[in-house]
Structure 1
Amino acid sequence: MELFLHEELVFREVFAKTKEEVLTFLAEKLFEKGYVKHEYIQAIQDREQEYPTGLPSSEPGIAIPHANFEMVNKTTLAIATLKQPVEFHNMEKKQAELPIQIVIMMAIGEPHGQVEMLQKIVTIIQDEPLRKAMINTKSNQELLQLLKQAVA
C-alpha cells in the first residue's frame, strides 16, 4: 500500500468555498503529476453530482471522491484537509449536506481496486481521534504518516 501514497499529493489547510473547488484542486494536482488523464478533472465533478461521496460521521467529516479507473494512469490517493468545512452531499441521503473537512481523492487504476481501497479508508472514517489528528497535523509529512498507518 505504501507505494500509493506520495507527499506531493498531501495538502494541509486548503482554503475552498465549495466542494467543486476542492475537487478541481485535487484532480488538477493528480493530472499535473501524471497520475490521471485530463478527462478525470471533469469526470470527478460529474460523478460527485450523480453519486455524492460525503460520508456520514462525527466531525471532522470526510469525503472520498473518485472517478472511473479508465482515466487513471497510476493508482494513488490525494488528500486535502480544509481550513473550513465545505458542504458535500451525503452518500446515503443525497438531499442531506454534510460539513466535510477531509477529502481523500482516490485514483484507482484497476477495475476492482476501489472496493479494496474503500475498505481501508473505512478505518479512517470510523476513527474520530484519527480524523481529528489529521486535521491538526503540523506538516504534510505528519499527515502522510497518519494516512500510511491507517491504510497500511
Structure 2
Amino acid sequence: MLGKETIKRDLTVVDLEAGSCDEVFEKMNHVFLEKGFVNEKYLPTICEREHKYPTALPVEPDPIAIPHTEADAIITPFIAPVRLKSTIPWGDMSDPNHKLDVKLVFLLGFNEPGAHIELLQILMHNFSRPEWVKSLYQAETEDEYYDAVMAMEWTHD
C-alpha cells in the first residue's frame, strides 16, 4: 500500500489562486513537471478525465476534490494537498451536472493501477472527520497545512 510518504511537502500549496479546476491543474502541472513527478501526458489527461468523471465529493462540512489521472502520466506517486484562496465550482462526483464549491483539493498521482484504492478509503475516512478538516482551514502556512494533513488517521472504517 502507498503510505504517508506519498504526501509531499514540496507539493503542498496554501492559498492557490485559481478560477477553475483546469487552472488548478495548469498551475500544479508546472510544479509537478519541474520536480519530476509527472510527464507531458499529465495535463491533458487529468483535464479530460476530470471533465468526464468529476471528482468533487459532497462531504460534510465542506466538499473536497480528489482529482487523479491515468497511471502512465505519473512518474513518482504523490498526493499534493492544495488549499485554494477562494472556493471554485467543481463537478460533483455523484452528479456530473451539479457543481460544488471546493476549496480543498488533494491531487492524487499513482503509477500503478489499483494502488490507490486503500489510500482513497483512508482519505474518505478523514474527510468525514470535522475536526481534521477544520485544522486544514486553520493552518496559516504551508508547513502548518502539511502538518495538519499529516495528522490524518492512517486507518479507515
In terms of mean alpha carbon deviation, does 43-52 or 113-122 score higher? 113-122
Structure 2: tracts of 5 or more residues without a match: none
Note the alpha carbon deviations across 1:93-144, whole angstroms, 9 max, x for none: 1111100000000001111112122111102321222222212201212211
In terms of mean alpha carbon deviation, does 127-136 or 99-108 score higher? 127-136
Pick one of 128, 138, 145 that aligns with 1:136.
138
Q: Which residue of structure 2 lines up, in the alignment, with residue 35 of structure 1? A: 37
Q: Which residue of structure 2 lines up, in the alignment, with residue 48 of structure 1? A: 50
Are the counterparts in 1 of residues 79 and 109 from structure 2 also a CA contact under 8 Å?
A: yes
Evaluate the alpha carbon distance shift between residue 74 and residue 151 of structure 1 in structure 2; reply closer, same or farther with a 3 A threshold: farther
Correspondence 1:11 to 2:18: no
Q: How far did residue 145 of structure 1 move?
A: 1.6
Aligned length: 152
Alignment of 1:64-103 (within 5 A): 64-103=66-105
Q: Which residue of structure 1 lines up, in the alignment, with residue 25 of structure 2? A: 23
What SS does the aligned partner of 2:54 have? coil
RMSD of aligned C-alpha atoms?
Answer: 1.4
Runs of 4+ in 1 over 3 A off after TM superposition: none
Structure 1: tracts of 5 or more residues without a match: none
Q: How far did residue 60 of structure 1 move?
A: 3.0
**Structure 1-normalised TM-score?**
0.93
Q: Which residue of structure 1 lines up, in the alignment, with residue 126 of structure 2? A: 124
Are the counterparts in 2 of residues 123 and 150 from structure 1 also a CA contact under 8 Å?
A: no
Q: Percent identity?
A: 23
Q: Could you say which structure has the higher helix fraction?
A: 1
**Structure 2-normalised TM-score?**
0.90
CA distance in 2, matches of 1:84, 1:59: 16
